[in-house]
Structure 1
């Protein structure tokens, strides 16, 4: 990400641009006057952080080694001024004036850095305040300043011969609160070159209070510039901005090691984009994938419950929710988060926060993304989505990450429900029903006892293979775990197998739920699932499973149940549930809701 320029190169470009203006007898007119400026105020920046990013872009490209956001106060705890300070190579005196004219930037249509239209500094500034002042000096020059004041423009103070003209730059040092900050940091006397942009008359910042504004900028700038903060450190109101990867994959970044949970990376992809006519590579897209564990957003004390509540969530959740979708970066700087097209993938804001995709594209591909004037929104065209689908396989990745999350969440739910001191609801219900059965219980024949012992040994051996422990140790552990348990519900991951099975393992009858089957992911743990619903499904499966296990091992009755469960019920259920996902139930659910409300009213 070579987005910076040397001082000599940057200043040469400025001088060339100033000569172009002078040769063209530029009138220093602010385009179309007051209405234009008021329109620029409403250009629509997402936040104060995104507006400020326009200025930070300039600082990074000016080869700044340090950037500071400093608050100034007239009284109380609400900032009255905000200064963005950098130690880059600065601006030539006339360029200080030009920097506040829309479209007069030297980095318009820049494909090596962040520049796009040359609107950034004035547009971003007036979106947050009434007056912006720019102070800058080069290594061999003095401080010069120019300003843009929308109130003065409105009052026609800048009008000359019917046109609005930008005032000339003047010699002046930055305001006192900026100089004091640099002196306290022991940097004022050694400040060779750089630029200070000061926002005054703040009226549109996201937060007015110092603490909230500082916290918001620290969080958002840490995400936007995560790939640049090592080379160009930043501070906000004296606090260091920590880089934050919203995929939570980068070791050392904020919230990476908040607790023992870690994000899981899938294989990344680098995709070449070629010109349709020449076949030449015109840019690249770099794609990263991240899957998050089911307990990733929970505080430690809430990781072992099925209903943690919003108050038990950790700070990662705020980052994930703000970046829920496909994250797009331009030259390593975050621009936007976009939901996948509905024609390619449906989106669930709750469960889809457990995966993340980042696409970092070269600025040479701008035409494919329809970058907005404020550089805070992208609209990928169809070719981009097609490339990501065919060459980066993002839809397959999304499917795999969703499936992994569903299994992870299901396993966690089952483990949590099994870990309580009280008996599982379905076990209590089926054991109570056993007391009232009208058919005789099966006798413990030698064949049945051998089957139960073989099943127990197979289960212990399977656990031993998974854990790497010796089978005899696992058998002892399993016997201790199941002591006193006549019935138990467990999960297993068996792609292609039946949606459930019920077996007698020693003295315990076990109901296995297959987390790889759509029954588990779409119904048992699907939308709207709750403990009572799951207990009801378990009772139903216990009923079917008991009928199978109670039949003699070699009987036609046992064979019937085994074949129906494995080859008929499971296959039919898979096909039906996959079809059900495609049916729009919103109208039906609305009608049912209205019926329920009417019934409730009648009952009352």
Structure 2
């Protein structure tokens, strides 16, 4: 081979195909495009996603066929758009006072080709001008038809996308022939809301538009911020509460900010701060052990909140466990209890060298010396936070135990006379399997035992079930619609009253009586309270004397009784308030 025939430094066709298989997830790939929109000063960003149904065996699947990201930022001129898809070319001014989100000049291109084989860019800096257009197509690159980026030309995007920027400057990035992202978008909105939460909090509007192939229009949903510190807003739940005329969600307690100054690389004497922000989640979300796995907690992603969020230039670059940062060396993973406190570590781009920042903006883990400093600061906080959380658990558990003792006198009285009462067919005809199912349902419905975290729930449920099996008579508080006064549960060894705390009779009569019995020196309130419980137990016991074929009739009787009583109590209170 002569010098004139030397191999080029890069085989472009091979390089682009290999670069598609980087470490980008679909969310990270989309994030790189959004980064450019944020840096362009966009006040609004729209993500339009088109999907198609896939044929095949098993559960129907969908595949994303086209993605458009439109922003109303500053747009690009001819020079900028001509190089925006070139690897290694930054489209931001090099003389900016502060570095921005981008670093290596590869993000948008790599993020885009990780998802699609064709990338089109439309942009304009003046709403009165035509869009300028450029593109890159991997099939053309592979066929060696596209060896250089094309010269930008005026071209109008599809009307459905152009309409998003009507009368505005901005940019549209269109991904076609998407072959590396399926149609399961669960988590994408959450990722974007968490990653760009600081910008959303300052006023950035993000919207996701979805449609299936062949549909005439998109279904639009706003993307709300998600703050792992649970202190920022408005969140999706804040917005929903406002629409209903309800207060906004409770916010976390701010436990303060720690600053660690670090010298900027190649700038002797100049420093910038690594900032650690700590919070303690609201008590409403951590009343008992296992609350982190409840349905409401999962909606708010509290069950995933055991890690640490790291932000670079206010953009999240890591969310999850950082080995050995929350305890001694060897303790790589957080505890379940750690989901109830929040930690955010932020740093400016000038300190990239301390966080081993990679070109894909993922996994920005602090170097060992900085990690040691962060660990020392966190361990001044974490043991105290864990103690507060555990003590609050214990306090509420003790209150729940005390709550159960309110029923003990009536339960014990009924247990003492149970040997004198006949066993009716309503209990003897119940099979062991039916009894177990009834106890399982009772445990799940009981207010004092709602611990839905699978890892912590099983032991609590078994303990409660064993308690119900061992007691001839029990009362459990439940939350039902207000027309239901109580339900009965009959098993071969026990009679259970499920007393509804939402029924007007309980709220207006029994609840005040239950409170008064503690301070009533005469004992009359306690006697009345116990008598009401025994009256309910006597009725429930009477039900067991009927054949099981009468269950539907007895259930109807209880329901009618509860509904009529509810109406009567409401009417009594209405009359009282009018006097």
Aligned to 2:235: 253
Q: What is the correspondence of 1:541-580 to structure 2 with a 5 Å cutoff?
A: none
Q: What is the correspondence of 1:418-437 to structure 2 with a 5 Å cutoff?
A: 418-420=402-404
**Cα deviation, residue 406, structure 1:** 1.6
2:80 to 68, 72, 95: 95
1:123 to 110, 114, 123: 110
TM-score by length of structure 1 reads 0.56
Q: What is the correspondence of 1:10-89 to structure 2 with a 5 Å cutoff?
A: 31-46=10-25, 48-72=26-50, 79-89=64-74
Cα distance in structure 2, aligned partners of 1:235 and 1:137: 21
Q: What is the correspondence of 1:118-517 to structure 2 with a 5 Å cutoff?
A: 118-139=105-126, 141-158=129-146, 164-179=147-162, 181-182=163-164, 187-188=165-166, 190-191=167-168, 193-205=169-181, 207-208=182-183, 213=185, 216-229=187-200, 230-237=202-209, 238-255=220-237, 262-274=251-263, 280-293=269-282, 296=285, 312-314=294-296, 316=298, 319-342=301-324, 343-344=328-329, 345-390=331-376, 393-420=377-404
Conserved 8 A contact 1:45-1:127: yes
Conserved 8 A contact 1:244-1:255: no
Cα distance in structure 1, aligned partners of 2:208 and 2:372: 40
Conserved 8 A contact 2:117-2:179: yes
**Structure 1: gaps of 5 or more residues:** 1-28, 159-163, 298-302, 433-524, 537-604
Conserved 8 A contact 1:294-1:354: no
**Cα deviation, residue 533, structure 1:** 8.6
SS in 1 for 2:199: coil
Conserved 8 A contact 1:97-1:147: no
Cα distance in structure 2, aligned partners of 1:336 and 1:153: 33
SS in 1 for 2:234: coil
**Structure 2: gaps of 5 or more residues:** 1-7, 55-61, 210-219, 242-246, 417-454, 467-579
Distance 1:291 1:532, change over 3 A: same
**Cα deviation, residue 307, structure 1:** 6.6
Conserved 8 A contact 1:30-1:165: no
How many correspondences in the alignment? 386
Conserved 8 A contact 2:123-2:133: yes
Conserved 8 A contact 1:135-1:144: yes
**Cα deviation, residue 66, structure 1:** 1.8
Distance 1:317 1:380, change over 3 A: farther
Conserved 8 A contact 1:324-1:337: no
SS in 1 for 2:24: coil
Report Cα offsets for 1:31-62 as digits up to 9, x if no partner.
4312221222111123x332222112211222
Distance 1:308 1:381, change over 3 A: closer
Conserved 8 A contact 1:108-1:117: no
SS in 2 for 1:409: helix
Aligned to 2:442: none
**Cα deviation, residue 306, structure 1:** 6.4
Superposition CA RMSD, Å: 3.9
**Cα deviation, residue 253, structure 1:** 3.2
**Cα deviation, residue 85, structure 1:** 0.7
**Cα deviation, residue 286, structure 1:** 2.0
Conserved 8 A contact 1:331-1:361: yes
Report Cα offsets for 1:434-473 as digits up to 9, x if no partner.
xxxxxxxxxxxxxxxxxxxxxxxxxxxxxxxxxxxxxxxx
Cα distance in structure 2, aligned partners of 1:292 and 1:270: 22
Conserved 8 A contact 1:294-1:409: no
Report Cα offsets for 1:328-358 as digits up to 9, x if no partner.
0011111102424334455335222122110
SS in 2 for 1:419: helix
SS in 1 for 2:30: helix
Conserved 8 A contact 2:264-2:351: no
Conserved 8 A contact 2:318-2:362: yes
